[in-house]
A and B are shown apart, each in its own frame.
Chain A
Amino acid sequence: MRLNKLIFFSLLTFIFVGCTHSLHVAHVSDFSPTFKEYSKGELVKARAEQFTVMGIVTDTNYVNDAYTKLLASCSGGSIQGITTQYSTSHGFFSWTNVIDMQGLCIR
């Protein structure tokens, strides 16, 4: 009986323990004014993270960092169809906020 209990709860813990994530926002920008095909551009990506213990952080500059990285990855070109995703990866009394930006760079 005791062994059964142990197996049951080990299984339960095994199933549910793991890194969880939460997607808060997923936004897709316009494709105008360029309206180009996928093959006519280059997929550019930018990602920035912010680790926090119990949410104690005084700024949200990581968002601007992702934006700056995206701009730098397509200098002299325009970027269409930008997907912006804001999510959180959960942890032990801490979590990581993540901003992910992707778009098609048209030069």
Chain B
Amino acid sequence: MRNILSLSCLLLLCSCAQLHHVQIGEVASHSGYVQKPFDIKISESGVNLGEAAEVSKILLNKDRQKDAEEIVGLIGLFQMGPITGNPVYVKDYAKNLIQLIYEKCPSGKVTGLMSVRESRKYPVVSGEIVKVTGYCLVRKGS
């Protein structure tokens, strides 16, 4: 029980933000328009199996620790490849980005776009985030 409690506290308190990529586009301004800021955040859960094995050391007895490590090693063989942040189990989670931008700015008069790929890391799990911020040019007085 104490172990679970301490683990929960750890999960709640420890979070690290990690920036992977940031890119900024053109910034256009015009006297007839005001810039209305918007932001879009798409997030998916990532899992770090190595850390899961480490955490299992706190929760499991020695026999199971060894088994857990073996399982993590075995799973790791099937999940090889370059990673940015932690791997996720959902493919193409950011595929509707363009539609989301149009939801925020239906006129398509978008400027000052900043695309950010970042991770919000907790023990074992992480949020794999795609963030897009920008400005929607709205005609003055409308």
Residue positions of A touching B, CB distance < 8 A = 5, 8-9, 12-13, 16-32, 34-38, 40, 43, 54-55, 80-81, 83, 85, 87-95, 100, 102-104
Chain B interface extent, by class: 35 or more
In contact, B108 and A38 (Cβ under 8 angstroms): yes
Q: In the docked arrangement, what's the CA distance between A92 and B80, Å?
A: 6
Q: In the docked arrangement, what's the CA distance between A31 and B87, Å?
A: 31
**Residue in B52, B81, B85, B101 whose CB lies within 8 Å of A81:** B101
**Residue in A30, A36, A40, A43 whose CB lies within 8 Å of B98:** A43
Can you name the residue of chain A whose Cβ is closest to the Cβ of B132? A28
Query: With A26-B97, A31-B110 given, is the CB distance from A91 to B25 under 8 Å?
Result: no
In contact, B71 and A23 (Cβ under 8 angstroms): no
Q: What's the minimum C-beta distance from B11 to chain A, rounded to whole angstroms? A: 17
Q: What's the minimum C-beta distance from A72 to chain B, rounded to whole angstroms? A: 19
In contact, B47 and A16 (Cβ under 8 angstroms): yes
Q: What's the minimum C-beta distance from A7 to chain B, rounded to whole angstroms? A: 12
In contact, A17 and B78 (Cβ under 8 angstroms): yes
Query: Hey, which chain B residues are within 8 Å of A17, CB to CB?
Result: 75, 78
In contact, B108 and A29 (Cβ under 8 angstroms): no
In contact, B68 and A24 (Cβ under 8 angstroms): no
Q: In the docked arrangement, what's the CA distance between A3 and B115, Å?
A: 50
**Residue in B93, B117, B132 whose CB lies within 8 Å of A24:** B117
| Contact code string B91-113 (vs A, CB < 8 Å = 1, else 0) | 11111011101100011111101
Q: What's the minimum C-beta distance from B128 to chain A, rounded to whole angstroms? A: 6
Query: Hey, which chain A residues are within 8 Å of B139, CB to CB?
Result: none
CB of B39 within 8 Å of the partner chain: no
Query: Hey, which chain B residues are within 8 Å of A55, CB to CB?
Result: 82
| Contacts A23-B117, A32-B111, A43-B98 known; 20 new A-B pairs at CB < 8 A | A8-B64, A9-B68, A16-B52, A16-B75, A20-B88, A20-B89, A21-B88, A23-B84, A23-B88, A26-B115, A26-B130, A28-B25, A28-B115, A35-B109, A37-B108, A88-B83, A90-B79, A95-B80, A100-B95, A102-B97
